[in-house]
């Protein structure tokens, strides 16, 4: 693949860019907190929120309208180094591994790192073609309440154990060749998309 079929923010070889994928169903302050921590700890120039049209592991009935989710994400991600993008919808990819394959020309133009929460890392082995992901990009895994042990004892953590990078060196992740990953502590927040949806449904 020599060219991508959609426009992207301009990138340069020296840029350090984080990719933060998810349903954002809905986006909340916890997503923003992880993003701000990633910008700081990984020394990123930009962080891209990649809003998924539909998580293949979740019930479509529990997923709000895509345009609504994108609009809420944009209203929340007001930091100048955050970008909310509709990459997967425009590419027509249905899972993260396929998206990264389609993005390979772009990924070669700068230094990218995948940003995720400990809850996602704990279940990474359930994702489609999951091993392609850590072998494509370094991973920065941010702790979440209730998921520390599950993440650090997960099949992904065990399979990738020898590639773990100390959190003290997490800023080097964008410069490293995959596979490489770090587990990063941060101020714990109880924000949850699931809890927000339940509260909204109960009103």
- Tell me what pLDDT residue 156 has: 98
- Tell me what pLDDT residue 201 has: 46
Residue 154: φ, ψ to 5°: -70, 160
- Tell me what pLDDT residue 6 has: 59
Q: What pTM was estimated for this model as a whole?
A: 0.89
DSSP annotation of 80: T
Is the pLDDT at 199 greater than 50? The verdict is: no
Number of DSSP helices (H) and strands (E) in the chain, helices first:
9, 6
With bands split at pLDDT 50, 70 and 90, how would you rate the model's confidence at 7? low
Is the pLDDT at 194 greater than 70? The verdict is: no
Is the pLDDT at 127 greater than 70? The verdict is: yes
Q: pLDDT exceeding 70 applies to what percent of the chain?
A: 89
Bond from prior residue into 112 cis (ω within 30 degrees of 0):
no
Q: pLDDT exceeding 90 applies to what percent of the chain?
A: 78
- Tell me what pLDDT residue 197 has: 37
Return the closest-CA partner of residue 117 out of 202, 22, 12, 2: 22
Asked if residues 125 and 97 have their Cβ atoms less than 8 Å apart, the reply is no
With bands split at pLDDT 50, 70 and 90, how would you rate the model's confidence at 102? very high
- Tell me what pLDDT residue 10 has: 84
Return the closest-CA partner of residue 19 out of 84, 67, 93, 74: 84
Q: What is the pLDDT of residues 16-53, one digit of tens each?
A: 999 999 999 999 999 999 999 999 999 999 999 999 99
* Domains in the chain with CATH codes: 16-202 (3.40.50.620)
């Amino acid at each position: 693949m020599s060219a991508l079929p959609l426009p992207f923010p301009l990138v340069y070889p020296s840029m350090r860019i984080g990719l933060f994928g998810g349903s954002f169903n809905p986006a909340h302050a916890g997503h923003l907190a992880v993003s701000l921590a990633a910008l700081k700890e990984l020394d990123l120039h930009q962080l891209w929120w990649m809003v998924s049209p539909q998580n293949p592991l979740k019930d479509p009935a529990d997923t709000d309208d895509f345009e609504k989710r994108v609009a809420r994400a944009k209203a929340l991600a007001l930091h100048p180094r955050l970008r909310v993008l509709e990459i997967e919808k425009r590419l027509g990819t249905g899972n993260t591994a396929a998206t990264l394959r389609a993005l390979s020309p772009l990924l070669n133009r700068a230094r990218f790192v995948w940003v995720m929460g400990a809850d996602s890392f704990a279940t990474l082995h359930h994702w489609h073609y999951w091993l392609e992901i850590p072998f494509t990009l370094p991973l920065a895994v941010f702790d979440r309440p209730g998921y520390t042990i599950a993440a650090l004892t997960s099949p992904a953590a065990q399979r990738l154990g020898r590639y773990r990078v100390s959190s003290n060196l997490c800023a080097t992740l964008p410069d490293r060749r995959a596979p490489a990953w770090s587990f990063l502590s941060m101020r714990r927040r109880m924000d949850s998309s699931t809890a927000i949806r339940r509260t909204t449904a109960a009103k």
